[in-house]
Structure 1
């Protein structure tokens, strides 16, 4: 599937003109502190006449964040009508210098004369072609389909189940002239576990997506934190501005390069989050668990006060006021915790335990005093299940060690006993539970599948 995605991306570049020798290497540009879209637009404005382009036909439509460069995508329009399936890209280095222009506008395009028929007829034509019913409030836009001559068409975006199609219907004859499949098995660039144990990122299929253009899937909806108000030294999850994670290329993939330094605009971390949350969710579903609420997952979590951003060296699970569950994963001072797959899966397990086991989220009291072991059970189970699924007994080999050397928890190297080694801190007390489960797994083997202990793979 990876090769297919590369092939489709190559086809897209070919259609957009890159294969026609239209890659321009740009030299001598000055650095810029302006936003990439502003810098790219100013560059095109200055150089349009030299390139022979009509800059009024170009408008920025997307930005592709990357680890070592910025790419701004420009669409083309003719007389206000967007040109379908064609764009150009302006590439800049991290200092804002334009280094390449990929593609160029199509020339000699004209909008056909005549009065288009009603857009409702185009929707009806798409329904008949796809043998489905579409929403009554669809209002398809007009687009220009390049060709000799160019054709004016309605673009009907149609979902059939979880598959998205672009249906182009001739604006004058109402004949369907193109059905463009707009869904793919999206690829994501992730770490198998984390940068410590699996240091080379891999491209994998992102399973169970339910959206073609954002990180929404069966396990939850992944967002990127833009900013959040400070609430007693922590970002406030109920007062947080978030953004969708856009696809990184024209084929609908999420192949962002990981950024392991402090970066408040990194999208790759969110992709890593989706992958590991989905893995953990699929594992629990295989054991018979069905999530009773939706899960909101947020990457790059940090706070901001007076324009100053503050990292968050933490990740946590919490119920939200709207009834959903929330997993909030911090952009830390020295580490983005979203790249620690086991820590992400740990927080996902907290959500499952919270809905599966009664009253483990609070300390308990009786006539003998306060018992904090329920919290330890919560943490111990949240350690064991990711360790079991990853076939690695260490929790936090990357994320926790980057925050504080020695902070990781090794379930296979633990001689703590109850009650002598209980200290009342749930993560430390939870090591007894995690280690117990791990020893059962070692004794019985990973292929033994009792509910709650072994893997179902």
Structure 2
């Protein structure tokens, strides 16, 4: 019997914390006077990092070259961080090198001062057994693979872990098991999905059938759709389910001599469709050639081996029928010939075969390239600071862009998606006002931006520009990072001042010049959307009741940052919270505020917010921090606020700092009686050190370029109470959050 992934594991995944900065990536402009007279970009990049290791604080950071990506006459050198030769998950350095050996920009997201013991207490088999117990399913060796890694999102939360990859619904899933203490500490799906047709619509008339050359077919396997030295294979689904290792496929032989000339079978229920296999091979080979020849990506490594499965429709998992997805794949997994490291599954569909729409294959292939060439993997839905949507939205928007660019058509999926097709020519709104937290919808902003740049500068320049920006990003990138990557790549590709100004204008028009994890509210009231637990649950296959029972608390898509003026004596945080869809206003929400760092709202650390209002059952609340608060208002501190909700429905948020005083008539006292935030009941003393580490000294040759300028406060001592993670409890230590005042509003 098919089992779904336990909901508690998604909550456990919240334990991985991230950098405390609103914008995690540090950006540094290169030194214009520094030249490394070498023709090898890796040598130039490595030498530069060594020369500036003190300013960049890289003295104790072990970096190993991961990949070199050409960008016309430039090169992007990507380094992965290691600790005692073990990979440090999600930590990297990127150096853009000019043709003369100069360094244009450095982007860093590294863990400094690691002290992780590299010797595990648990064995690989122990770790696999922990995952099997959590999933309630057996995981024999062919179905799971474990390797040692280091997790180091915060200095106080670093650990040695077993990374366990196993096949679950919708592709490969990755689990992390504490290699010293045991226990699953994080989980994420590695699959990327595109929506299939759900509702019946009129079919789109496809172009006339033409005969095209199928490039790259392997002479060693002349009777099947296998090419590029067997790195690309296309199979037709026959029976079974990839989840259970019993997949049956076949490869259609040529129809006439060496040619594959088939007529499409437009009836998804009408038996075999070898035409769909030919479509899968032709378009996979076409986009592979584009990335190799136009963008210069070396795809010779075994990590690029790919199987495309068409007509996928397992009876045990009917939801696959109307979907397509990409997923990295574990080695030696039974059921797929050729031992590929990646798969793309194209569902049979209920009315239109997804293999007949090349938009779908090209979209999924771009996910495959992002994963293998850029290490841009799917992020967890949550991190220490709440819900995470922008990395996946960038992934979806850029996949739409390259699908449309290769087909020279801004419409994505007009055949397969019908009414849900995405038109990149249509305005998609702004950040943050029009973002809802769903990756495909939010990705429309990226898709529309990149397609607009293509209309301005032409396909060739825009393709290089977009890929150049992508190659600078890490897996926790924000829309702001993507904008910075575009501007840096435009300068590196010798766009003139007017063209760069055009890009800046397009970014500003969409709010991407100010779209990181924390939004400034100094004189800027912010309006945004907040997902409800019911909406989040529907994305994961659960009801709102399931989400509440598992302890989920939804967080705002953004945090809100306020930097006081030196003469300020208080901060009034004004929040309006209402049902975005109308109807019920029964509500339960809260405001949490932290000084000098983003507010930790999900963590395995017992971190208390500095201030909290909880619970709030009205549509309007104000949190006032002044000299009477504990701790008192400090004009030298930066304040970060997050909104948390236990409501099923999505909310409309309006967040403002220090609004004009307009108390309603006959509202009674200006200030309601002070009410302390609820204490979780733990008799624990935590010591908070607010001293920030020194900034790296910057010379005229090395200076920040729009990167993170916030300081990291040393975290409180760690208390690993894993059951608190599973229930998503916000712990409050004995030092209570400041009493806050709620001003009544009608």
* TM-score, normalised via structure 2 length: 0.32
Q: Which residue of 1 aligns with 2:354?
A: 337
> Which structure is higher in strand share?
1
Match of 2:305 among 286, 294, 300: 294
Alpha-carbon distance in 1 for matches of 2:428, 2:314: 39
CA contact (8 A) 1:311 1:333 kept: no
Is 2:405 the partner of 1:388? yes
Inter-CA distance 366–236: structure 2 relative to 1 (3 Å threshold): closer
- Pairwise CA distance, 1:431: 0.9
CA contact (8 A) 1:363 1:374 kept: no
Q: Which residue of 2 aligns with 1:204?
A: 212
Q: Which residue of 1 aligns with 2:6?
A: none
Inter-CA distance 272–420: structure 2 relative to 1 (3 Å threshold): same
Inter-CA distance 367–213: structure 2 relative to 1 (3 Å threshold): closer
Alpha-carbon distance in 2 for matches of 1:395, 1:198: 14
- Pairwise CA distance, 1:370: 2.5
The list of structure 1 runs, each at least 4 consecutive aligned residues, that deviate by more than 6 angstroms after superposition, is 308-311
Alpha-carbon distance in 2 for matches of 1:289, 1:198: 31
How many residues end up aligned between the 2 structures?
A: 249
Inter-CA distance 452–363: structure 2 relative to 1 (3 Å threshold): farther
What is the RMSD computed on CA atoms of the aligned residues?
2.5
Match of 2:280 among 265, 273, 283: 273
Q: 1:273-329, CA deviations, whole angstroms, 9 ceiling, x for partnerless residues?
A: 111111111111121112332001111111135xx9997011100111226000001
User: Any idea what SS the aligned residue of 1:413 has?
Assistant: coil
Q: Where in structure 1 are there 5+ consecutive unaligned residues?
A: 1-194, 230-234
Inter-CA distance 217–334: structure 2 relative to 1 (3 Å threshold): same
Q: 1:322-341, CA deviations, whole angstroms, 9 ceiling, x for partnerless residues?
A: 26000001111111100000
Alpha-carbon distance in 2 for matches of 1:417, 1:390: 26
Match of 2:395 among 364, 378, 381: 378
Match of 1:423 among 436, 445, 454: 436
User: Any idea what SS the aligned residue of 2:322 has?
Assistant: coil
Inter-CA distance 349–309: structure 2 relative to 1 (3 Å threshold): closer
Is 2:224 the partner of 1:214? yes
Q: Which residue of 2 aligns with 1:348?
A: 365
- Pairwise CA distance, 1:414: 2.0
Match of 2:240 among 228, 240, 255: 228
User: Any idea what SS the aligned residue of 2:420 has?
Assistant: coil
Alpha-carbon distance in 2 for matches of 1:452, 1:397: 26
CA contact (8 A) 1:313 1:331 kept: yes
- Pairwise CA distance, 1:255: 0.4
Match of 1:408 among 417, 421, 430: 421
Q: How do 1:428-443 and structure 2 match up within 5 A?
A: 428-443=441-456
Alpha-carbon distance in 1 for matches of 2:438, 2:319: 26
CA contact (8 A) 2:454 2:463 kept: no
CA contact (8 A) 2:370 2:376 kept: no
Q: 1:2-50, CA deviations, whole angstroms, 9 ceiling, x for partnerless residues?
A: xxxxxxxxxxxxxxxxxxxxxxxxxxxxxxxxxxxxxxxxxxxxxxxxx
CA contact (8 A) 2:450 2:462 kept: no
Alpha-carbon distance in 2 for matches of 1:237, 1:341: 28
Q: Which has the higher contact order (CA 8 A, sep 6+)?
A: 2
Q: Where in structure 2 are there 5+ consecutive unaligned residues?
A: 1-202, 332-339, 469-746
Match of 2:254 among 247, 258, 269: 247
Alpha-carbon distance in 2 for matches of 1:226, 1:452: 41
Inter-CA distance 425–261: structure 2 relative to 1 (3 Å threshold): same
* TM-score, normalised via structure 1 length: 0.51
- Pairwise CA distance, 1:240: 1.2
Q: Which residue of 1 aligns with 2:142?
A: none
Is 2:327 the partner of 1:318? yes
Alpha-carbon distance in 2 for matches of 1:206, 1:321: 28
The worse-fitting range, judged by mean Cα deviation, of 283-292 and 312-321 is 283-292
- Pairwise CA distance, 1:447: 4.5
Alpha-carbon distance in 1 for matches of 2:240, 2:383: 40
- Pairwise CA distance, 1:450: 5.8
Inter-CA distance 390–437: structure 2 relative to 1 (3 Å threshold): same
Q: Which residue of 2 aligns with 1:258?
A: 264
Alpha-carbon distance in 1 for matches of 2:244, 2:258: 29
User: Any idea what SS the aligned residue of 2:258 has?
Assistant: coil
